[in-house]
Structure 1
Amino acid sequence: MENWDDMRVFLAVARAESLSGAAPVLKMDPATLGRRVARLERAMGATLFVKSPQGYALTDLGERMRDRAAEAEAHLSLAFDEGQGASAALTGQIRIGAPDGAANFLLPQVCAAIQADNPDLEVQVLALPRVVNLSRREADMAVTVSPPAAGRLTVQKITDYHLHLATRADAPPVGSREDLRSRPVVGYIPDMIFDKELDYLGALGADGVQLASNSVAVQLQMLRQTGVGFVHDFVLPFAPELCRVLTDEISLRRSFYLVRHTSDRQSDRLTRFAGALMRGMQAEVARLEQMARLTGSPVI
């Protein structure tokens, strides 16, 4: 391998599993990345990726190399942090993995505020319908709805949040559970629920869902058309045409956690960012949930 820049290209393609996915991260075009990967493989004398129309999948050697490269990247990040004073503005790139409810409706405004205070900071939000793999350095930190049970990870609770049933405000009134029987249920695709905390059907007592998606944003668009389903209270201000129903009878409470790799505790830069992120999310959840109690209030 000729230089660290080759390793940076390799890691980006490995994480994105495609040239087109890695291109925006590196600010390079896919054709250039393809040439760089081919050059790296020639220099290594080995195949690192299996190329197909579906993308770039790592070979066994590529997987071993990715893990070592991710460790080297983490140590380089720590070395970079040593060069920054504790009072200096945050710089460089920080990537956060998050479920799409938080990624769509909380993190944009929270991260924008942090970046405004740190103009040389680049914040990336990775929204995935699964748990982000920090061990493979898919992200620097992750927001989750359950604390991980294994791995060399540190976990901090960010805040509680609430969910209630919601439907269109102009739909026939819902006064009891019986009134729900004739409404299609909107929710997650059952076999794609990646965390038990996202399985809400038991609380509703429904046998299944009639309109389903693995995306909170898509579920919200479905509810804008018809049906009834659980919606985060912090999402409701973004959809003033929806209203909460049966709030005294059916209510869910869940929590967000911030998960980091244990070795990153030495990084002052990441620790300072994590603190700002947690404070921002706590304030934003409280603000939006307060608005949700005022049915039909627009986001301001």
Structure 2
Amino acid sequence: MDWDDLRIFLAVARAESLSRAGKSLRIDPATVGRRIARLETTLSARLFTKTPQGYALTEHGHRLMDPARAAETAFATAQDSLHAGTEGLTGQIRIGAPDGSANYLLPQVLTQISAENPGLEIQLVALPRVFNLSKREADMAIAVSRPETGRLTVQKLSDYQLHLAASRSYLAQNPPITCRDDLKAHRIIGYIPDMIFDKELDYLGEFGTTAPEISSNSVSVQTQLMRAGAGVGMVHDFVLPFAPELVRVLPETVALTRSFWLVRHADDAQIERLNRFAALLTQGLRRELQRLEALSLTAA
């Protein structure tokens, strides 16, 4: 059996589409289809069935997944060993992250990692949702809560702090806020309620304020709305150095602590290249988070 055929099989199984699989592999969908047909002929078994939703694994296809994943891990480990003597990391690594960390923490961290490893290609996917590592949407992901299911390895990166904030101009033009009840007289900015992808992001519900009058699924957009004077909302402390217009509101009364987690597929535990990258990412993120939160205190 050809490893390249198994690689294509895994891509289709994860993408559930010939075109999406082809895009990830950088080959045309027709070639993907021919290679899958060749593999099915070799195995004398149907691996996929076409449904309105895409390509679904058959029973034979499900049976092939574990051996194919094992072959993928073995191939990656073999590649890893060939580069074990090189000083820097090489190849491509994709990391998924929610847009708060992706916009305000990771650019500085990844810039340094890239500068120290010129042969490394880093892809940062910034989306406000949970990443599916089983489908190889990323090599690793930053999450805002600890996953409880799946074949994953999970490492706590760091706690981080959030406070209510608003722009100085907004506070100057609106009634004073001296207690939580005063918030009822103010426009609230937050997440679109039905697009909160993780319970840890339900900030406003935690301290009983009203539903947001202006909302977005993006941390960055919420921050920009506050900077424009649209209202009061929750802000990560590490964002405040990038938004000098904002000041904390009720800092002694309303404060939240959340955590970032680094999530990886369990099959990747033996891949030294990913282990080294994860260590650099962890050290860099903790250092940058500490630096920015310290700056936020001096600016407050």
Say yes or no: TM over 0.5: yes
CA distance, structure 2, for counterparts of residue 21 and residue 166 of structure 1: 43
Deviations 1:122-150 (A, max 9, x none): 11122232222222322222211212222
Equivalence for 1:240: 244
Deviations 1:146-202 (A, max 9, x none): 122223322221111111111112112543234422222111122222222111113
Equivalence for 2:4: 4
CA 1:201/1:16 → structure 2, altered by over 3 Å: closer, same or farther? farther
Verify: 1:40 aligned to 2:42, yes or no.
Answer: no
Contact 2:97 2:141 in 1 (8 A): yes
Deviation at 1:82, TM superposition (A): 1.7
Q: Which moved further from structure 2: 194-203 or 3-12? A: 3-12
Deviation at 1:10, TM superposition (A): 6.7
Q: Which has more radius of gyration?
A: 2
CA 1:19/1:127 → structure 2, altered by over 3 Å: closer, same or farther? farther
Aligned pairs (5 A) from 1:69-108: 69-85=68-84, 88-108=87-107
Equivalence for 2:298: 294
The count of corresponding residues between Structure 1 and Structure 2 is: 288
CA distance, structure 2, for counterparts of residue 210 and residue 63 of structure 1: 48
CA 1:142/1:183 → structure 2, altered by over 3 Å: closer, same or farther? same
CA 1:134/1:125 → structure 2, altered by over 3 Å: closer, same or farther? same
Verify: 1:181 aligned to 2:181, yes or no.
Answer: no
Deviation at 1:17, TM superposition (A): 6.1
**What SS does structure 1 have at the residue aligned with 2:238?**
coil
Deviation at 1:9, TM superposition (A): 9.1
Deviation at 1:66, TM superposition (A): 6.9
CA 1:208/1:109 → structure 2, altered by over 3 Å: closer, same or farther? same
Equivalence for 2:140: 141
Contact 1:100 1:216 in 2 (8 A): yes
**Structure 1 unaligned blocks of 5 or more:** none
Equivalence for 2:54: 57
**What SS does structure 2 have at the residue aligned with 1:172?**
helix
Aligned pairs (5 A) from 1:220-299: 220-225=223-228, 226-295=230-299
Q: Which moved further from structure 2: 174-183 or 114-123? A: 174-183
CA distance, structure 2, for counterparts of residue 184 and residue 16 of structure 1: 43
CA distance, structure 1, for counterparts of residue 87 and residue 282 of structure 2: 19
Aligned pairs (5 A) from 1:110-125: 110-125=109-124
Contact 2:18 2:32 in 1 (8 A): no
CA 1:181/1:87 → structure 2, altered by over 3 Å: closer, same or farther? same
Amino acid in the other structure paired with 2:262 = L
CA distance, structure 1, for counterparts of residue 216 and residue 61 of structure 2: 31
Aligned pairs (5 A) from 1:186-197: 186-197=189-200
Deviation at 1:108, TM superposition (A): 1.8
Deviation at 1:117, TM superposition (A): 0.5
Q: Which moved further from structure 2: 253-262 or 2-11? A: 2-11
Contact 2:22 2:32 in 1 (8 A): no
Contact 2:241 2:295 in 1 (8 A): yes
Contact 1:6 1:40 in 2 (8 A): no
**What SS does structure 1 have at the residue aligned with 2:170?**
coil
CA RMSD between the two structures: 3.1
Deviation at 1:286, TM superposition (A): 0.9
Which structure shows the higher helix fraction? 2
